[in-house]
Amino acid sequence: MSNRLKVTPNDLSAFWMPFTANRQFKQAPRMFVSAKDMHYTTSDGRKVLDGTAGLWCVTAGHCRPKITEAIQHQAAELDYAPAFQMGHPIVFELANRLVDLAPKGMDHVFFTNSGSESVETALKMAIAYHRVKGEGARTRLIGRERGYHGVNFGGISVGGIVTNRKMFGTLLGGVDHMPHTHLPEKNAFSKGVPEYGAELANELERIVALHDASTIAAVIVEPVAGSTGVILPPKGYLQKLREICTKHGILLIFDEVITGFGRLGAPFAADYFGVTPDIMTTAKGVSNGVIPMGAVFVQKEIHDAFMTGPEHMIEFFHGYTYSGNPIACAAALGTLDTYKEEGLLTRGEELAPYWEDALHSLKDEPHVIDIRNIGLIGAIELAPIAGSPTKRAFSAFVKAFERGALIRTTGDIIALSPPLIITKGQINELIDHVREVLRAID
């Protein structure tokens, strides 16, 4: 422990940190050394309330005994088994448990190690599915402006976040984008899903008319866009997308990496909105963020379309060394047990009204230009400092950390997504931290 506390800037240079202002961080590092339930402990011994479930992933809270024990036991029993042409029991057990939890008809699951890999897997499945069905011309992929689908080439190609795309060349060909659904002039301070904007789904018809449906494999959207700053689907929007996709034989992929596993108060956003996609990508909450894992759920019809050639042949030339890694499976089973025992996959529904009221109590605080919420997700959008976008929100992040709360910021938006074990008292505490921070920053 003591060694870990003695970090100096010199020790920090080797690690090129992901999505981090490296030079700024290394001048004034922020370090966590332990965590339990709703709190982290920093290297200087302070408790910090986790307002973000890590990076939206520690859904059941930190260092939960069932998960820790499952990992410890599995590590001593079977540490690794080859993922290709070999199996081990708990990966099948986990697949069955997940399929039981998934929306009806999503009977099969493919394992990955992250949300980014889940997205690549889903996109490849969609294109290959059409090909095995004899519609090999369906190769186009449609994403959405401001969408986040991880950082691999397929994901940034269908994604719509400019900073994540502009440095990396021409990306995948044959990709188009629908417009995002953020309409602050009409929907600011909406509680839950906003009233206006369902007609934006009709933009998909325009794209279909341009390219012809026979060239389009799939549409991928986040049911609720998280990483881009929490953008909600307008009332009726997802239903419309579903109808248009079905009409044209286009697969609908829901990227549920953030919304999966209870974040909205239902197991999946598909359940919450009553719209079932053809493919659903997940990660994060599947293993409580403790061991990397992702899972792609597919409708029976898609899976079965691949099960046709000679039986000794591999049906889908895709997979990862660590697909269904035994220790990750153990972590996921421990996670599912914890969710079940504590009713966490629906706890968000009970807490959502309280959460909504608490968040919207910030409406008249300095800099606030919009507040958005759904399930246990909240966003507080701040007016940017003229000429210095993101600076105000970043100061809020640093101040909140100093005061004892972990929040996330993206652009000038504060995004909150606490573990689903949060109490009402801790919701008050988190919102009070944000209130004090807003009053303290320039």
Which stretches of the chain bind ligand PXG, using CB under 6 A? 55-56, 114-116, 119, 148-150, 222, 226-227, 255, 257-258, 283, 408, 410
Smallest distance, Å, CB 349 to ligand PLP? Answer: 37
Smallest distance, Å, CB 210 to ligand PXG? Answer: 26
Give the three-class secondary structure for 352.
helix
Q: Among 269, 277, 192, which residue's Cα sits nearest to residue 235?
A: 192
Which of 320, 339, 355, 401 is the binder for ligand PLP (CB under 6 A)? 320
* Partner from ligand PXG, ligand PLP, none binding residue 175, C-beta < 5-8 Å depending on class: none
Q: Contact between 110 and ligand PLP (CB under 6 A)?
A: no
Smallest distance, Å, CB 331 to ligand PLP? Answer: 18
Name the H helices within 1-114: 2-5, 22-27, 53-56, 65-77, 89-101
Beta strand 216-221 with 140-144: parallel, antiparallel or unpaired? parallel
Beta strand 279-282 with 175-178: parallel, antiparallel or unpaired? unpaired
* Partner from ligand PXG, ligand PLP, none binding residue 268, C-beta < 5-8 Å depending on class: none
Smallest distance, Å, CB 242 to ligand PXG? Answer: 18
* Partner from ligand PXG, ligand PLP, none binding residue 321, C-beta < 5-8 Å depending on class: ligand PLP
Q: Contact between 297 and ligand PLP (CB under 6 A)?
A: no
Smallest distance, Å, CB 129 to ligand PLP? Answer: 22
For the chain, how big is the Rg over CA atoms in Å? 22
* Partner from ligand PLP, ligand PXG, none binding residue 320, C-beta < 5-8 Å depending on class: ligand PLP
Q: Contact between 321 and ligand PLP (CB under 6 A)?
A: yes
* Partner from ligand PLP, ligand PXG, none binding residue 115, C-beta < 5-8 Å depending on class: ligand PXG
* Partner from ligand PLP, ligand PXG, none binding residue 33, C-beta < 5-8 Å depending on class: none
How far apart CA 29 and CA 43 sit, in angstroms, is 10
CA angle at 76 for the pair 70 and 82, rounded to the nearest 5°: 95
Yes or no: say if 416 and 378 are a contact pair by the CB < 8 Å rule: yes
Which residue number is nearest to ligand PLP in terms of Cβ? 321
CA-to-CA dists, residue 289 to 53, 70, 94, 372, 381, angstroms:
9, 14, 16, 25, 27
Kindly give the interhelix angle for 344-360 and 424-440, rounded to the nearest 10 degrees: 40
Smallest distance, Å, CB 94 to ligand PLP? Answer: 19
